[in-house]
Amino acid sequence: MASIDGIYSNSMKGGAYGWARAMLELRAATFRYPVRRPRRFRPWATIPGPGIRGIDLTLSSGTILGLVGPNGAGKSTLLQVMANLLPLEDGTLSVEGTATAEACRAAIGYMPERVTWNGPGNAEQAIERLCTMRNISISNGHDLLDLVGLGNRTLDDLSTFSQGMKQRLSLAAALLGKPKILLLDEPLNGLDPVAQGAFRTLLRQLANQGTSVVISSHTLSDLERLADEFVLMHHGRIVADGPLLEIERNLGLRATIEIAGLGIPPISFGDGIEAKEIPLHEGEEWAYHLHLAKGEWTTQRRSELGPEMTFTRLQSVPAGLETVISAATGLDIEDAGFSILSEVDSDA
């Protein structure tokens, strides 16, 4: 099995040395899909529809950025704009200081959502074709097929591939040519849990080597363990960005702590802290979720509970995507249900 270290050269390393530079910059980026609005004498007339508006974003080297938001928020559109697939109506996009389309695309590896790879042909042929388009050695493609676990399926017809295998092939395609920026749209869809774990490890390795990664996903739980920073989109705009805890704090969400231990449970966890029992893990005698009305759980608070107290778990629990979306959009999740769609009003 090939390793990413063997495929990526040392010249790409940057994040590992602790410095980070802007790899991709979007300034006031706007793109809206044209929507048909036939008029009596102009049946082909269109008006600007949903899309993204006024996006300012800087992606640093070695950063994993999670892109989250409700359906139609503009996540995939933003990725396509970054990948130079959609032209900007307004604003600028530069990758490593260059704005030419081909140079930008050379630095970017893009994995669209759910590519179905219907063939005809096999994985080797599909990758070889892309290697030609990238002007890179075909052996690089073969190494990547090994890396994503398709090394022994390279000659199988694409129509026999499962969705997970197709996702792996899409990932190999995105990694071709050692891109400095990876744009991944729902990359974990269809992958089995083991492959998801391997995928997360691979992305972390790439980030450590200086590759910037942008992942769009609907589930914070997948991204939480992976992303360094998040961008929350709604109505085609960025409504919040930064590390998750910072977003939660900025949105005024209550911090939640998961705490568990041995012995007699504490009678009180402090003023303004609401405790709720949660299921125990093996060997634990008590476990609670602590909801902090304000502030953070500090070392001092912990010592106030008693020095003899033995903790087996003490970690912060993010508020979760629904809560974050609810806070950012002002919508009540329980009332809204499926009605939350983030598309921009056509005449907005």
Partner 1 sequence: MRNRLQTIWVVALHDTKGHVRSQRMLILAPLVIFILCAACWGLADSRIVPVGLSVHSPADVLFLSSTFVVFISTLSVVLLGFDSISKRRLTGELAIDLSQPMSRSDYAWSQLLGVWLAAMIPTTIGIIVGAALIHRQMGVWPEFGDISMFLISTGLLLWWYTCLQLLASSMARDVGASVTLGVGTWLFFVFLWLIPTLIVAQSMGVDVTDTTSMAFDQIQEKTDLFSPNGVYQLLMETQLASVNQPHLSSKSIWLSALIWFMAPTMAFLKRIEHMRP
Contacts with partner 1 by CB under 8 A lie at 33, 80, 83-87, 101-103, 105-106, 108-118, 120-121, 125-126, 128-130, 132-135, 170, 173-174, 177
Q: Decide whether 102 or 347 has the Cβ nearer to partner 1.
A: 102
- SS3 at position 327: helix
Q: Which amino acid is at 71?
A: N
* Alpha carbons 118 and 169: distance in angstroms, whole number: 12
**Shortest distance in whole angstroms from residue 262 CB to partner 1:** 52
CB atoms within 10 A of CB 42: 9
Q: Decide whether 182 or 319 has the Cβ nearer to partner 1.
A: 182
Query: In 3D, which of 66, 87, 94 has the Cα closest to residue 218?
Result: 66
**Shortest distance in whole angstroms from residue 111 CB to partner 1:** 8
Those residues whose C-beta lies under 8 Å from the C-beta of residue 293, and which sit 6 or more positions away, are 254, 272, 273, 274
**Shortest distance in whole angstroms from residue 21 CB to partner 1:** 21
Location of structure tokens 């036939």: 38
Q: Decide whether 82 or 327 has the Cβ nearer to partner 1.
A: 82
Q: Decide whether 188 or 287 has the Cβ nearer to partner 1.
A: 188
Q: Decide whether 24 or 290 has the Cβ nearer to partner 1.
A: 24
**Shortest distance in whole angstroms from residue 34 CB to partner 1:** 9
Q: Decide whether 10 or 135 has the Cβ nearer to partner 1.
A: 135
CB atoms within 10 A of CB 124: 17
Q: Decide whether 131 or 244 has the Cβ nearer to partner 1.
A: 131
* Alpha carbons 235 and 173: distance in angstroms, whole number: 31
**Shortest distance in whole angstroms from residue 141 CB to partner 1:** 12
Strand partners, 30: 90
**Shortest distance in whole angstroms from residue 90 CB to partner 1:** 17
CA angle 182, 183, 188 (to 5 degrees): 100
**Shortest distance in whole angstroms from residue 8 CB to partner 1:** 18
Find the DSSP H helices in the chain.
Answer: 4-7, 75-82, 101-106, 123-134, 138-147, 163-175, 193-208, 220-224, 244-250, 299-304, 321-329, 333-336
